[in-house]
Structure 1
Amino acid sequence: MFSETRERPVRAEPGQGAPDRYALFQESGCEPLGLDISRPRCRRVSRSQRPRTVLTCGQGGMVIPRTPAEADTIRRIRLLGVIQAQGERANTTSYGVEGFGLRYQLSALNAAIGLVQLDGFQAAEDTRRHLWRTYRDALAPLDGVTLVDVDVEHAVPHLCQVRVPHRNTVFATLRGRDIGVGVHYPPNHTQPAFAAWHRSLPATEQAGEEILSLPFHQHLTDADIVLVVTALEQALKAIGGS
């Protein structure tokens, strides 16, 4: 089953939109959103390893390749088949997926890191909800900017995303000012790995051209958010937007 991840709490239960066939849910995307994956026909496939999520396990694991080609293959497979390194992806609005991939980074040590962080979960939850609301209030006066609603009263946000016109230009302008915006995510159906199943999805493609992730982590301050929103407003005005 292919599904679009949305930052809202959902329950995978009969009668509430759950699939009739067996479904795979990636826990790294579902757990911060409150997804109930206890239904017997739903199988867990991974744990969160992203530093930006509510709880992180870090990233780890080791393979000693025999050849440079083998090393390249392992790197690509372990990062979901994405061919660009994570550092390269930070400076662009898209990336390429050319084949099969897995999220094979977690070790027992990384799992231990995640478990230790459980003690700080409540503080992280409160902080993230406060920061998301602060962004919401600061963004409200900006014309042409649509905040992606995450139902913050019932979910712990791990991203703060907006839809903006001229996204690529705005992205480049903000990165040029050392503001760490990103794109989560380019539409999967446009990737080479899924070319055999490609079909036109106009709404998804439009969202993919507009979506922009603003800096969002629990060490942000309200002043940081004002700085980001001010820079976004200036970038839009420079290109005839807000």
Structure 2
Amino acid sequence: MIPYGRQDISEADIAAVVEVLRSDFLTQGPVVPRFEAAVAGQCGAAHGVAVNSATSALHIACMALDLGPGDILWTVPNTFVASANVGVYCGADVDFVDTDPDTYVMSVPALEVKLVQAEAAGHLPKIVMPVHFAGQSADMAAIGALAGRYGFSVIEDASHAIGARYRDRPVGNCAHSDICVFSFHPVKIITTAEGGLATTNNPELATRMELHRSHGITRDPARMAGDSEGGWYYQMVDLGYNYRMTEMQAALGLSQMDRLDAFVARRNELAACYNRRLADLPLTRPAQHPESYSSYHLYPIQVADRARVFADLRQAGIGVNVHYIPVHMQPYWASRSFTEGDFPNAEQYYAHAISIPLYAGLNEEDQDVVIAALASALG
């Protein structure tokens, strides 16, 4: 089976993890801050806060921005459920903004219309969370401008997009957002086995996220209620979680960062090959905005008879997948008064979507097999 995505682990990666296993620290040691600095530096952001998953990073990002009961978070339906779930974790209400029919990221015109309606009704969102689907950035300058006009905060869910660029700057620089979140799941661009990281240029937000990832505990006397009692002393000053990243995860991620540019370049080469060789087949290829350089976490196509083509490809040993079932169509979210037809662009995309194999280790021979199987299934 040729998978739709997989990790690329080198001997250097293995050696980096083994070195940590032989060290004095397995968690909360010196490697996590080095990894945070490497990612933040690559993005051009001032701060990085590493955690055990991107879901955790999204959660503490919402907490740092004081999302809570009575507040509203907006994201897109074309995403993994975590983007919406973190709003519920904070006790907030969640709603969705439909996607662009070509790029599958948040539609700025749909966002503008929804904001006008929400302002008139007195229900503006506290946070808007665009998702950089498949590695392509949403139009962050336009979303940032709307944030300034309507007064909401912005969290970029860039789980798919480390190494991507928007307007020739790295995704994660937070020029148009408060916080940006990356995922390091094994099928993402780089991996820490599991893990996530939030970048920000706001030192107070970084400090708050660091607090929330570790039980709300601080050893900083400046943040304590009253005086410190000594070098052993700590205080729990807020309700937090155990979301810390381990040293082993950070060591793997730090090693993988050395190959980030090569991984993204290779994914773009493979995507360019797909673009050329699939041009004459009866399918829709993923469109790319001219101001965006995708990291190509996914290569999602659209076909007329998705169920049959999906089954034929799986039968041929091609590990295709579908990203994503719109969040509002999941039973939990449907029970919260969402229904089919609410977000037609996301639903139309889902009805025809298949993600075909794309990962840095995919070789030309396997890509030939994928293309031939797809041509046969569509024939």
TM-score where L is the length of structure 1: 0.69
Match of residue 286, structure 2, among 148, 154, 171: 148
Alpha carbons 1:52, 1:216 under 8 Å: kept: no
Rg larger in 1 or in 2? 2
Alpha carbons 1:32, 1:157 under 8 Å: kept: no
Aligned to 2:247: 108
Residue 105 of structure 1 and its aligned partner are, at CA, apart by 8.8
Aligned to 1:49: 184
Letter in 2 for 1:2: T
Residue 51 of structure 1 and its aligned partner are, at CA, apart by 2.1
Once residues 162 and 175 of structure 2 are traced to their aligned partners in structure 1, the CA distance between those partners, rounded to angstroms, is 14
Aligned to 2:312: 173
Alpha carbons 1:142, 1:233 under 8 Å: kept: yes
- Asked if 1:216 is matched to 2:358, the reply is yes
Alpha carbons 2:299, 2:358 under 8 Å: kept: yes
User: For residues 184-219 of structure 1, what are the alpha-carbon distances to aligned partners after superposition, in whole Å with 9 as ceiling and x for unaligned?
Assistant: 111111012222141422222111111100011111
Aligned to 1:9: 137
Match of residue 338, structure 2, among 175, 180, 198: 198
Alpha carbons 2:324, 2:350 under 8 Å: kept: yes
Classify the secondary structure of the residue corresponding to 1:193: helix
RMSD: 2.8
Residue 11 of structure 1 and its aligned partner are, at CA, apart by 6.0
Aligned to 2:174: 38
Alpha carbons 1:12, 1:18 under 8 Å: kept: no
Pick closer, same or farther for the CA change 1:127–1:15 going to 2, 3 Å.
closer
Once residues 53 and 18 of structure 1 are traced to their aligned partners in structure 2, the CA distance between those partners, rounded to angstroms, is 30
- Asked if 1:231 is matched to 2:373, the reply is yes
Alpha carbons 1:187, 1:208 under 8 Å: kept: yes
User: For residues 116-157 of structure 1, what are the alpha-carbon distances to aligned partners after superposition, in whole Å with 9 as ceiling and x for unaligned?
Assistant: 1111122212211111101111101112x0111245972221
Letter in 2 for 1:110: Q
Alpha carbons 1:50, 1:56 under 8 Å: kept: yes
Q: Which has the higher contact order (CA 8 A, sep 6+)?
A: 2
Classify the secondary structure of the residue corresponding to 2:258: helix
Alpha carbons 1:33, 1:155 under 8 Å: kept: yes
Superposition map of 1:124-143 within 5 A: 124-143=263-282
Once residues 325 and 142 of structure 2 are traced to their aligned partners in structure 1, the CA distance between those partners, rounded to angstroms, is 30
Aligned to 1:163: 302
Residue 39 of structure 1 and its aligned partner are, at CA, apart by 4.5
Letter in 1 for 2:154: A
Alpha carbons 1:32, 1:53 under 8 Å: kept: no
**Which sections of structure 1, spanning at least 5 residues, go unmatched?**
61-101, 238-242
Alpha carbons 2:300, 2:356 under 8 Å: kept: yes
Alpha carbons 2:144, 2:154 under 8 Å: kept: no
Pick closer, same or farther for the CA change 1:106–1:216 going to 2, 3 Å.
farther
Aligned to 2:238: none
Pick closer, same or farther for the CA change 1:124–1:18 going to 2, 3 Å.
farther
Once residues 209 and 105 of structure 1 are traced to their aligned partners in structure 2, the CA distance between those partners, rounded to angstroms, is 38
Letter in 2 for 1:171: F
Classify the secondary structure of the residue corresponding to 2:174: coil
Once residues 114 and 11 of structure 1 are traced to their aligned partners in structure 2, the CA distance between those partners, rounded to angstroms, is 28
TM-score where L is the length of structure 2: 0.46
Pick closer, same or farther for the CA change 1:194–1:119 going to 2, 3 Å.
same
Match of residue 186, structure 1, among 325, 339, 342: 325
Classify the secondary structure of the residue corresponding to 2:275: helix
**Which sections of structure 2, spanning at least 5 residues, go unmatched?**
1-73, 77-105, 107-130, 166-170, 196-240
- Asked if 1:25 is matched to 2:156, the reply is yes
Residue 26 of structure 1 and its aligned partner are, at CA, apart by 2.8
Classify the secondary structure of the residue corresponding to 1:209: helix
Alpha carbons 2:322, 2:353 under 8 Å: kept: yes
